[in-house]
Amino acid sequence: MANDNKRKFSSIIVDGVAQAPSRAMLHAVGFSDDDFKKPQVGIASTWSMVTPCNMHINKLADDAAQGVNGSGGKSVVFNTITVSDGISMGTPGMRYSLVSREVIADSIETVVGAQGFDGVIAIGGCDKNMPGCMIGLSRLDRPSIFVYGGTIKPGAKHRDIVSVFEAVGGYAAGKVSDAELKEIEDTAIPGPGSCGGMYTANTMASAIEALGMSLPNSSAQEAVSYDKEADCRRAGEAVMNLIEKDIKPSDIMTRKSFENAITVVIAIGGSTNAVLHLLGMAHSANVKLELDDFTRIGAKVPVLADVKPSGKYLMSELIEIGGIQPLMKVLLDVGLLHGDCMTVTGKTMAENLAGVNPYPEGQDIIHKLENPIKKDSHLVVLYGNLAPTGAVAKISGKEGLLFSGNARVFESEEAALAAILDGTVVKKDVIVIRHEGPVGGPGMREMLSPTGAIMGKGMGKDVALITDGRFSGGSHGFVVGHVTPEAAVGGPIAIVKDGDPITIDAENKAITLGIPQQEIETRLAAWVAPPIKENRGILAKYARLVGSASEGAVTDKF
């Protein structure tokens, strides 16, 4: 069996007399003699019954395999893990969420590297699946494509998972009855697919499409639909074309393409998690990307999508008017996108968008450039004596641009949530939740439970919340996350005391602890590192390896 350029990896595994044992093993899993002559494509499936986001992905993996096998390749499906943010939210289990991004990346790299696949398709559904898949693909740098598992259909009365979190706050405030809470719980999640607003899953799917690593419209298809099945089959065909042309992630994931992804995330009003994940993905792709790039790009890119959590519409409604492709065409036409970036179609971004039709007249989901929801980015990178290396706020404008109040400090998410629900937190409080960063958590939990409770109690404009943890894409209100350095490594957030004045100024991109600098230095000098929370297992390993959130919270930066 001859080596050839299309089989540069699999030929090492299956060619020649010495590899007869390898072929024997592969015969047992369904390989024929002819299959050994074909390029092998690994299909990384994140299927599990852990969460509705991923419960259908086994079928999508089969569809992708059909596309590969029908195009002259040999597909091999394998699994990686998923955890559910929505289910673990507000519990100690949420510490494993961001950790799972690294496990997914490591496992894809491990399987593909060991098995010698010539190309890879990765299919992700829940939040960390997507950046985890992308980090793995970029490390391997073999012809690859990402497929989004698709968004969930809306629940009854236009509900989604955030409706449930906010109903908990409404219940605590006496605005939602027992019966209403039960009805919302029973109807918000109607079936398979990722959370329905422009939360982290739909944000990252859109970012990856803008990056050029998934097929056009892959981000804008419902999980259970003919379009999503066809997307998977086309991905199988497309990866064979990438193998033929030797187009790799390093040819696609360039600095310009990351700038395209940032631009689209801003235009759609996407999740703050996109900052963390794009920084992590850029690191894996050896692309220089920094927090300040989000500020630079955000100064000229408006928010145009009126989508949840701050807006009205769900992803399914954006799908009905054409998804993000018409939006990208508008951005390209006014010079806000780089059209010369290569994509997984084998064509440039401009070539992909050339025939895209505009949105239908009368729709109000995507605003026109001359009538933006916000004239510049909602993702605001803040600096100051409370966050010397940066923090990330999600400011839609609806909550205002300036908040001053007094600190009410909590050492965990659970303590803060209890205080919000029992009325301890009052107007003009700046809730400070610390020791929830990548090291301190460990794992940098999302704070959807506290922010959902705040909104449900009708306090969205009355209090602010800052944390060295993260926020769900479903969070909204006056919230600041990713405060760095984090408390566990001695960042200034560690020495904040109850009653300290704090000002968050989104317009001037500043977050300030209003006490004298000498007092800050005195407190920091007296600070003692907290004991390590975990001494064994994956959380302990993560805490020892993980870097700052301001650099993507990666675990392989040595």
Strands 387-394 and 478-481: what pairing? antiparallel
Alpha carbons 134 and 208: distance in angstroms, whole number: 8
User: Distances from the Cα of 458 to the Cαs of 384, 426, 467, 481, in angstroms?
Assistant: 29, 11, 21, 21
- Complete edge-to-edge strand list for the sheet that includes strand 144-148: 74-79, 40-45, 119-124, 144-148
- Give the side-chain half-sphere CA count within 13 A for 8: 10
- Single-letter amino acid, residue 7: R
> Which one of the listed residues 472, 475, 548, 550 is annotated catalytic?
472
The Cα angle at residue 169 between residues 203 and 390, in degrees rounded to 5: 45
Spell out where 32-102 has E strands: 40-45, 74-79
Contacts of 506 (CB under 8 A, 6+ apart): 380, 382, 393, 395, 401, 402
Known catalytic residue: 472? Answer: yes
Residue 356, burial from CB neighbour count under 10 angstroms (0-12, 13-18, 19+): middle
Return d(Cα 134, Cα 259) in angstroms, integer: 16
Beta-strand ranges (E) seen in 60-217 are 74-79, 119-124, 144-148
**DSSP per position, 349-371:** HHHHHTTPPPPPTT--SB--TTS
- Read off the amino acid at residue 50: V
- List the structure tokens of 29: 């899993």
Q: Which residues are part of the catalytic machinery? A: 472
